[in-house]
Chain A
Amino acid sequence: VQLVESGGGVVQPGRSLRLSCAASGLSFSGHGMHWVRQAPGKGLEWVAVISSDGRDKQYADSVKGRFTISRDNSKNTLYLQMNSLRAEDTAVYYCAKMDCGGDCPRDYWGQGTLVTVSS
């Protein structure tokens, strides 16, 4: 199983960025997927989740209304559209499969992509 994030970079405050997470080696369309971020030198912060079929989404209060999670199951790819970016959004963004239904299958995380919001 591999989860590979891309799309990070340096962006000015107020601008937008879209992250992608390409999945391979797993039945992507069968699992809910998450974004988790980690500011430099700080702890983990859960950001958003999307259901396996893309219909249900939940967000952290800190990003609600600015970020949108989506997925394309035909491309085995997860997305995070980030608008109105702020300095406090600077972080490494991880995509992760960490559902825990039934017997709670093992989790998988990408290596992360760094987003830096700075003028």
Chain B
Amino acid sequence: DIVMTQSPLSLPVTLGQPASISCRSSQIFVHSDGNTYLHWFQQRPGQSPRRLIHKVSNRDSGVPDRFSGSGSGTDFTLKISRVEAEDIGVYYCLQATHWPWTFGQGTKVEVK
């Protein structure tokens, strides 16, 4: 199975400042169709998760443009250009190329 490792696991932020989360995989996971199915999810306190970014760098519909995803190979990054209060929660990366799909451990973004 592909292991997804996120860092940091806890990220104290100052509102209005940028934030960055790393996700590293134990192996490259490029699909036979050429896509890398690396997605990012947000889970606000008390809510169900929702996807923010699909296939490394594509924002889902309705996701603010302060969120961006990048990376390739085994290293991926989620960036928030200016953290807002509604961004507080836990963020997960997901490898969705090979079965079984695997999530990272999660990164808790909280106000400093």
What is the size, in residues, of chain B's interface with A at 8 Å between Cβ atoms?
27
- On whether A109 and B50 interact (CB within 8 A), knowing A43-B103, A100-B39, the answer reads yes
Decide if A98 touches B51 in the complex (CB within 8 Å): yes
- On whether A100 and B37 interact (CB within 8 A), knowing A43-B105, A61-B1, the answer reads yes
What is the size, in residues, of chain A's interface with B at 8 Å between Cβ atoms?
21
Decide if A100 touches B103 in the complex (CB within 8 Å): no
Q: Which residue of B lies closest to A112 (CB)?
A: B48
Using Cβ atoms and an 8 Å threshold, which residues of chain B touch A109?
48-50
- On whether A107 and B60 interact (CB within 8 A), knowing A60-B100, A98-B51, the answer reads yes
Per-residue 0/1 for A103-116: is the Cβ within 8 Å of any B Cβ (1 yes, 0 no)?
01011011110000
Chain A residues near B (Cβ < 8 Å): 36, 43-46, 49, 58-61, 94, 96, 98, 100, 104, 106-107, 109-112
Chain B residues near A (Cβ < 8 Å): 1, 37, 39, 41, 43, 48-51, 54-55, 58, 60-62, 90, 92, 94, 96, 99-106
A-B contact pairs, 14 of them (CB 8 A): A36-B49, A43-B103, A43-B104, A43-B106, A44-B103, A44-B106, A46-B101, A49-B101, A58-B100, A61-B100, A104-B55, A106-B61, A107-B50, A112-B48
